[in-house]
Amino acid sequence: MKLLKYVLVICFVFISAVGRADEGMWLPQLLAKLNESHMKSLGMKISASDIYSVNKGSLKDAIVSFGGFCTGEVISDKGLVLTNHHCGFGSIQDHSTLDHNYIRDGFWAKNHGEEIPNPGLFVTFIVRIEDVSNKVLAGVKDEMSENERQSQIDKNIAAIRKGVKKEDYQDSFIRGFFEGNQYFMFVTETYRDVRLVGAPPSAIGNFGKDTDNWIWPRHTGDFSMFRIYAGKDNKPAAYSPDNVPYVPKRSLAISMDGVKEGDFTMVFGFPGRTMEYLHSAAVDQTVRVNDPTKIAIRDKALAVIDGYMRKDEQIKIQYASKYAGISNAWKKWQGEVLGLTKTNAVAKKQAYEAEFQKRVNANAALKSKYGDLLQQLELAYKELEPLGLQRDYFNEVFSKIELFSISSQLNQAMNAQGKDNYETILKRTQDRLKGIYEEYNAEVDRKLFAALMEVFYQGLQDYKLPDSFTKLLKDAGGDFNKMAENIYAATTMDEEQKTLGALETDAKTRLEQHKTDVAANLFSDLLTYFSTTVSGQLNEAQDKINRLQRDYMKAQMEVFREKTFYPDANSTMRVTYGKAMSYEPRDAVKYEIYTYLDGVMEKYKPGDYEFDVPEKLRELYAKKDYGKYGANGKMPVCFIARNHTTGGNSGSPALDAYGNLIGLNFDRAWEGTMSDINYDPSICRNIMVDIRYILFIVDKYAGAGHLVKEMKLISKKK
């Protein structure tokens, strides 16, 4: 019986590997060659050249990388950009005060003059994509070390970029694909004058907050609007009040028709990172070690911050973005473990590897190259496991304690003393410290220190930690709260005036004081411990895995020639497509594709941090005053489909079969967050806010109908 079950797993894995519908993050310039016929079989009505073209305006010319961390799309001929509320949240937060709380109340510019500049924010268009693999890999030899290999590649890339044909205002970058077996160059245009136009209150834009994050059914109006400004020649320009709204090569038309079960959908954007071709040992470590460790650490951090945010409005503003960032991955990892376990991901990987090994062994040429490759990968991951565990503890704990962030900035200035670039680094340190202190509360940070240092110690007590750490703990009688009190009482880094203020008046004296600061010395000792005990071995182990994984990726493409491979996400432009589909996450549970405003009211809890509903929205619901945006007497809010997305796809447009905008991607269903490692169409769904709900909020709720008038609304229904 066990043998039969194993054979069935192999068959399932292999059939699904050959042609799994709805899976993949595809390079747009290759759609005509690899995907167009399949896309049309699913219902697409446009051509691949309508999606990507360098000879005419195409859909890709309406898609932007928003800030380098999200996606956005141009939805008017005046440079109006739509993205998620959580993508624009940093800008919304920057402009929020207790008197003008745009997080709580929302913001809507009545005209161009009221649109708010955002220093540092940018959007990037892709002009064209070129295969430069042969040029990048010229002179690269198999016997090279990883450092030698990368040095040669970097040298080649620099030469290619220097000689690229482009306009003076354009730029380029080159990225590796398929674990460095292939390389593409992206020619880009970046606009740095991007202004906030509108955002709903967080009770709409972040409705459900952390409870609903990664969850379907969902009822979040997760959107915000910005505008691109350019010089009078329509080219990129630094911020100036004389700049004018950008006129795009292409903007998206907006469909008022919605979708139904089985309709074709497509998502266009800049997905961040996936790892679809990992060895089973890597997936096993993710489920068994790495994710549980990071989840436990963030449990502690979130509990501390949440306790303060619920009591203090100022702390809520200061820590809102930080809390959301910590919570986002925390919940995602929980869903990832659930999904990988539920879909037997490790067993499926092992079955896939068994078929790989069988084919390799049957071919003398393949066996000579790849005969022991899987065994080497398994051994390499065994070496990595304890090092990866320590890395996760250090990364997760250090990044949550702002006292360590402050110390890190001061260290950079201190180490630059006497060097030619000292003044530049000092100024940069001051600027970064200003940003840290704006979102800093010493009491919250002290509690975080106590909670996280305790979990840090418990997780790594089998390893020899620095003497300074154990002495500070011993002096506090083993009490981590007392340890934190002692350290924060002795340091001055928790006081802005004694740190940033002193740095601006007498930097030399302040940096000299830093050398004897107890918190700074603890941070330094912990960093030294990590760099001398962990970092070197970790880098060696990771280099070995990188080399083996590159060979494994190449080998899979040689061994499974009947399969069409797509490259893992790496923050470059991709297209993913599928159908709007309901799903069954658990026994006797079926999730339909749509949610409605009715569900918002069902979740409504007056005054609640997560589920309060603005009075005006309740009034519109009571009157069923949906205008032209409702459907069959109801107001659609969100919908789901089988599009393969990940982080970075936040803000991506959801398009219909004709390339019209139908929604805004903002999340994935919790059960399917493991799609970064193991896509399974039975439970993997992306979540989108319906464009009609967005327009309803803009027009009927916010009274910003002038923005809707900029857009092209269409309907193909008769």
Active-site amino acid positions: 86, 222, 650
Parallel/antiparallel/unpaired status of strands 224-230 and 182-191: unpaired
Here the tokens at position 55 are 């000879």
Q: Using CA atoms, how far apart are residues 218 and 603, in angstroms rounded to an integer?
A: 10
- Only one residue has tokens 């880094």, namely 493
Parallel/antiparallel/unpaired status of strands 170-177 and 182-191: antiparallel
Q: Is residue 177 within a helix (H) or strand (E), and if so which, with residue range?
A: strand 170-177
Here the tokens at position 466 are 């620095």
Parallel/antiparallel/unpaired status of strands 661-668 and 686-690: antiparallel
> Cβ distance 674 to 286 under 8 Å?
no
Q: Is 190 helix (H, G, I), strand (E, B) or coil?
A: strand
Q: Using CA atoms, how far apart are residues 694 and 102, in angstroms rounded to an integer?
A: 18
User: In degrees to the nearest 10, what's the CA dihedral of 238, 240, 245, 248?
Assistant: -10
Alpha carbons within 13 A on the beta-carbon side of 646: 25
> Cβ distance 591 to 584 under 8 Å?
yes
> Cβ distance 181 to 86 under 8 Å?
no
> Cβ distance 609 to 207 under 8 Å?
no
> Cβ distance 717 to 632 under 8 Å?
no
Here the tokens at position 623 are 């009157």
- Only one residue has tokens 């049957």, namely 362
Q: Is 583 helix (H, G, I), strand (E, B) or coil?
A: strand
> Cβ distance 681 to 280 under 8 Å?
no
